C-alpha cells in the first residue's frame, strides 16, 4: 500500500482522518447539490418577491460552487475520493422536492433557511474536528463557515424585509474562500499516491 503523507500528518496530529474525509466528502456533495437546486430554483422564481429572492439565490449559488471547488483538492490530498453519482442522489437541497412552475416564496424560505442552518452546523463541526490539529483543513472550513453564516443572514434579512433590496451589488463573492481557489497544485504531493 502506498503512503499518503498528508493523511499521515493529519492522523499524527490526532485527527480521525477517515471521519474527516467522510465529513468533507459529505459537504462537497451537499455543496454541489445546493448549486444544482439553486440553478433550477432561480428558473421558478417569478414576480417581485421571486426576483428579489433570486438575487439572494444567485450569490449563494456562486459561493456554494466555490465551496465545492475549494473542498475537492483537500479531499484528494487526504486520500479521499468523490463518488460519481447522478444529480438525483446529490446531497444538500437537491433531493428535497420537485419545483412547481412558480415557486411559492414564503413556502420555500424555511426550506432554504433550514439548509443554511445545517451547513453552518456541519462546518462548525469540521472546525471543531480540525482546530489546532489540521491547520490546512481548518483554515479552509473556517473560511467556508464565514460564508455559510452570510447565506443564513441574507435569508433572514430577506425574511424580515420581504422583497426589499438584497444588499447592494456587485458585492465581492467568496471573500473568504477565494484564496483557496487559486492555490497552486500540490506539486510535492503528486508523486505520492494514496489508496483509492
For Fe ion, the binding residues (CB under 5 A) are 31, 64, 67
Q: In the bound complex, what is the minimum distance in angstroms from residue 36's beta carbon to Fe ion?
A: 13
Closer to Fe ion by CB, 71 or 103: give it: 71
Q: In the bound complex, what is the minimum distance in angstroms from residue 37's beta carbon to Fe ion?
A: 12
DSSP state for residue 98 in the 8-state scheme: P
Closer to Fe ion by CB, 6 or 108: give it: 108
Rounded Cα gap, residues 75 and 24, in angstroms: 7
Q: In the bound complex, what is the minimum distance in angstroms from residue 67's beta carbon to Fe ion?
A: 4
Q: In the bound complex, what is the minimum distance in angstroms from residue 125's beta carbon to Fe ion?
A: 14
HSE (side-chain half, CA atoms, 13 Å) at 77: 19
Rounded Cα gap, residues 186 and 184, in angstroms: 6
Closer to Fe ion by CB, 52 or 143: give it: 143
Closer to Fe ion by CB, 65 or 166: give it: 65
Query: In the numeric block, which cell numbers belong to residue 43?
Result: 428558473
Distance in Å from the first CA to the final CA of the chain: 10
Amino acid at each position: 500500500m502506498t503512503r499518503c503523507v498528508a493523511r499521515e500528518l493529519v492522523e499524527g496530529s490526532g485527527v480521525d482522518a477517515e471521519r474527516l474525509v467522510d465529513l468533507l466528502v459529505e459537504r462537497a456533495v451537499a455543496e454541489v447539490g445546493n448549486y444544482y437546486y439553486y440553478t433550477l430554483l432561480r428558473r421558478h422564481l417569478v414576480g417581485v418577491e421571486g426576483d428579489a429572492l433570486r438575487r439572494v439565490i444567485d450569490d449563494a449559488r456562486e459561493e456554494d460552487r466555490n465551496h465545492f471547488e475549494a473542498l475537492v483538492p483537500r479531499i484528494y490530498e487526504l486520500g479521499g475520493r468523490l463518488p460519481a453519482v447522478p444529480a438525483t442522489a446529490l446531497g444538500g437541497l437537491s433531493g428535497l422536492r420537485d419545483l412547481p412552475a412558480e415557486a411559492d416564496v414564503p413556502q420555500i424560505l424555511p426550506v432554504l433557511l433550514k439548509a443554511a442552518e445545517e451547513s453552518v452546523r456541519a462546518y462548525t463541526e469540521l472546525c471543531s474536528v480540525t482546530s489546532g490539529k489540521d491547520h490546512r483543513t481548518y483554515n479552509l472550513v473556517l473560511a467556508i463557515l464565514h460564508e455559510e453564516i452570510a447565506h443564513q443572514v441574507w435569508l433572514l434579512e430577506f425574511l424580515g424585509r420581504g422583497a426589499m433590496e438584497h444588499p447592494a451589488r456587485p458585492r465581492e463573492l467568496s471573500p473568504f474562500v477565494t484564496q483557496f481557489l487559486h492555490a497552486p497544485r500540490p506539486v510535492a504531493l503528486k508523486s505520492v499516491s494514496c489508496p483509492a
